[in-house]
Amino acid sequence: MVYLYLFGENNEVSPLFKCNSCEKICPNLKNLLAHKRIHKVKSIPCEICGRKFRYRYMLEKHKKVKHFNDITYFICDICDKKCLSKSSLKFHMDNIHLNKYQFYCAKCQRGFNVLSELNKHYRIEHEDFRFFCMYCNKIFKDERYFKFHVKTHDPNYKNIEIQCTLCSKVLKCIQSFQTHMRSHNGKNKSVCDVCGKILTSKGSLRDHIRTHTGEKPYQCEFCEKRFINKKTLIAHERVHTKEKPFICKICGKGFSQKATLNVHMRYHTGARPYNCSICLREFVTKTLMKDHQCKGPQETD
C-alpha cells in the first residue's frame, strides 16, 4: 500500500491512497480497501454451473437467485430454516437455538458469534451510539435503517409501502416486512426456559425473561417508573413530553405510539383482522376480540 499526499492551494495536506495493483488513487483508506476487492482472484466455484466468485457469501447469493430449484438445502430440525451448507446450519443452530456463543458482552453478558455484532451491540446499548439524520434530526440505532431513511429525503425517491394482509400494518421496506411476517408464520421461534412461552425473536425472548426475573434496567428521567426495554421507556416518556410523532395521513390525528396509529388506521380502511371463532364477528384488535363475550350465533325473529 502506497501513501501519497496532495498539497492544496493553501498548502493544506490531504492523504491519498494508491493501489499497488493498478496504481489507482483513492481519497481515503476505506475506498482503497473497497477498490482492492476487484483484484481478488475468483477462486470459489459454483458446483452447479461452474461460475466462480471472490467470496463465499457472493456464491450463496448467486445460488439462491440462479439455482433456487437445484439447491440441496440443509434443514434446521427446530424451525425448518433452509441453509446452504453444513457450516451455515451449525452457525444458525448455535446462534439461534443452542445459545452457543464465541463472544460475550462484558457489560450484560449477551452472547454473539460475530465480533462485529458484539462491537455494534456495545456501541448502541452501552455507549448510546446513534445515527442522526441531518435533514430531520431523526435518530436511529441501526445503520441499515438509517441509510434507508436518508434515501427518503432524496427528491427523486419513490415512497414504497407494503401492507400486511393479515393485520393491515404498513411497512416501508422489504426487510421490515419480512421481519414482521415472521410474527405471523411462526418462523424463528424462541422458547422461554421458565414457562415454555414461544417468542418470535431473541429480543422478545430477552424482554420476556425479564418479566420472570423482575429486571427493569430502564428508568424514566421524569419519574421513578422503570421498564424492561428501551422501547417501552420511550413510549412512556411521551406521556410526560406530550409528544405525538405518529400522524394519521388521512385525518391528521397524532399518536404517541405507532401501534396505536396502526389500530386507528383500521377504522379508516375497514380492516378487521381478528374474528371470533364461534360467531365469526370481526374486530379491530385482539383485545376487543378476547373481551367479546360470545354466546353463539344470534337468533333472529
Is residue 264 very low, low, confident or very high in pLDDT (cuts 50, 70, 90)?
A: very high
How many Cα atoms are found within 13 Å in the side-chain-facing hemisphere of 182?
A: 18
Distance CA 28, CA 6 (A): 12
- pLDDT average, residue stretch 5-11: 44
Instruction: Answer yes or no: is pLDDT of 137 > 60.
Output: yes
Pair 188, 208: CB distance under 8 Å: no
Domains of the chain: 2-39 (no CATH), 56-117 (3.30.160), 131-269 (3.30.160.60)
User: Cell 383500521 maps to which residue?
Assistant: 266
Backbone phi, psi, residue 240, to 5°: -80, -40
pLDDT the model gives residue 188 = 56
Instruction: Answer yes or no: is pLDDT of 242 > 80.
Output: yes
Q: Which three cell numbers stand for residue 261?
A: 396509529
DSSP code at position 169: -
Strand (E) or helix (H) holding 74: strand 74-75
pLDDT the model gives residue 295 = 59
User: Is the pTM for the entire model greater than 0.85?
Assistant: no
